[in-house]
Structure 1
Amino acid sequence: MAERFDNEAFYAALNATRLSRQRTWKEVAEEAKISASTLTRIGQGKRPDVDGLAALLYWSGLKAEEFIHDGERPEAEPLAQVTALLRADPNLSPENAKVLEDIVMATYTRLRGV
């Protein structure tokens, strides 16, 4: 099966990074040294060009392989990934990471059957 770039997940992860850093999209474009129209296009579902992708990956600290799926390689369970990320966040105490983890798990469990 051909590999596929998950543009929607990439944009959501960029947005989460932007919100965590308390930045506007304009500030993201300036800091990443890309045009604001690149972010607009990505938000509209269009794939970024290679230079824009590289700049945004560098700015955000995200990894491209997190958004490339071929449907064959097993991926870590989403809850396991979220748990690991929350516990690795230096901005959260272990107690606060656990609170967020519990909220995410409860919400995920409730909504996954929907």
Structure 2
Amino acid sequence: MAKTTINAALLYSALDAARQQRQLSWRSLAADIGVSPSLLSRLGNGLKPDTDGFATLVRWLALPAEQFFASDATSGRADQEPDLMAQLAPLLRARKDLNESDVRYLEQVISATVERARAKD
């Protein structure tokens, strides 16, 4: 059975997308989330967060923790693209003109479109 780990690059990418959407510095983002700036810096350097830090980050992103899991076979691969929904979800959730139902609907539409595109490959 493959070991499951946290994909720090993917988590950092989702946080960066949310940070850019909100036009925050990394230090301001850390304060908004309630974590130390050094936690975000370590993520940026490819290090994994501690359990409490990980839980705080994914809860703030309002994304499922599983989205940031990787198995031994995929973690650390330089050619692995960040998950599209991990990048888009924080942007959708940050929109003030979308309610939770709208966000869920758009996530479903985008996910279905990505799956269909992958099936054609």
Name the structure, 1 or 2, with higher relative contact order (CA <8 Å, separation 6+). 2
Aligned residue runs from structure 1 range 78-97, under 5 A:
81=85, 89=92, 91=95
Report 1:57-68 matches (<5 A). Answer: 57-68=58-69
- Residues 29 and 35, structure 1, Cα contact 8 Å, conserved in 2: yes
Q: What's the counterpart of residue 50 of structure 2? A: 49
Considering only aligned residues, what root-mean-square deviation do their CA atoms show, in Å? Answer: 3.3
Provide the C-alpha distance between the structure 2 equivalents of 1:44 and 1:37, rounded to a whole number of angstroms: 10
Unaligned runs of 5+ in 2: 74-82, 99-105, 115-121
TM-score (norm 1): 0.60
**Where do 4+ consecutive residues of structure 1 move more than 6 Å?**
none
Counterparts of 1:1-114 in structure 2, within 5 Å, are: 1-70=2-71, 81=85, 89=92, 91=95
Q: 3-state DSSP class of the match of 1:69?
A: strand
Q: Secondary structure at the match of 2:42?
A: helix
User: What SS does the corresponding residue of 2:3 show, helix, strand or coil?
Assistant: coil
**Deviation (angstroms), 1:69:** 2.5
Task: Give me the whole-angstrom Cα distance separating, in 2, the residues matched to 1:22 and 1:62.
Answer: 20
Q: How much has 1:24 moved relative to structure 2?
A: 1.2
After TM superposition, give the deviation of residue 37 of structure 1 in Å: 0.7
Ranges in structure 1 where 5+ consecutive residues have no aligned partner: 72-77, 106-114
Task: Determine the C-alpha separation between the residues in 2 that align with 1:43 and 1:32.
Answer: 16
CA contact (8 A) 1:31 1:59 kept: no
Match of 1:67, as an amino acid? Answer: F
The structural deviation recorded for 1:31 is 1.2
Shift of 1:29: 1.0
Alpha-carbon distance in structure 2 between the residues aligned to 1:19 and 1:40: 16
Larger Rg belongs to: 1
Cα deviation for residue 21 of structure 1 reads: 1.5
**How many percent identity over aligned positions?**
32
> Partner of 1:45: helix, strand, or coil?
coil
What is the count of residue pairs matched by the alignment?
A: 87
